[in-house]
Structure 1
Amino acid sequence: MQERGEMMTYFYPAIFKHDAEKKIFTAVFPDLPGCQAQGRSMDEAAKKARDAMAASLLEMEEKEISIPLPSDERLLQHRLRHAKVCVMLVDMNSYRAFRAYKVKHAESKSAEWAASARKSRKSSFLSRVFGLR
């Protein structure tokens, strides 16, 4: 973890494994309980892992849970030779801004959808009443 004024950046190792039978990549963060992600490609799994890490850290911050120190990725790689260990980075200020944008965007899309549904119901009602098609 690194703090510079308002900016907060976290670095945590993720353990990536490939399941050839299921054709999925899995990422697990050993220092963040329950934090994991899956994807059909390594790139997809890495993107989802970064989002999962940010969401997990944000929840810990909001609930004022002590955030653990990251493990040494070299020791993990030495112990887990069958897996790939990558250090993931997340800037919490950027994540918070992105999350706020997604919420606003979802709310505006929801309002558009609701307005569209109301118009659709009105026209459907009028067509049934007046026999219009």
Structure 2
Amino acid sequence: MTDTVRFQIPGYIRPPLSLNDRRGHWAPRHRTTQTLRAIAATLTRQETRARRVRVMPPVVIDLVWVVTDNRHRDTDNPVLTRKPLVDGVCDVLGFPDHWRNVSGGVRIEKGATAGIWVEIRPAATSGEATA
């Protein structure tokens, strides 16, 4: 794989799961987690088939949060949203999401339209995903 596969998670302009969400019942979080995993799996399947790309580990999977203003945001908080997205991507790609295969994190970028994106790219040869 030499291309970057990037797709938007529809319906979300900010991460729905955050480390700051400490209250509430576990069931709504579980439903959101399952929804995000299913969306990521479906969109990964669509994008890799449309581009005719075969993705092989190691890869970098980033959550890209596109915002429209200059307010400060922590990159740690959306980690809970990234995890089910990575799980959904790896479900389709057919390899486990452990540290030898997958690395990445959360990036926040300024753009014209707010949204959540998933970006899949090959790991650098310097061992970005293979320690």
Normalising to structure 1: TM-score of the pair?
A: 0.32
TM-score (norm 2): 0.32
> More helix per residue: 1 or 2?
1
Higher relative contact order (CA 8 A, sep 6+): 2
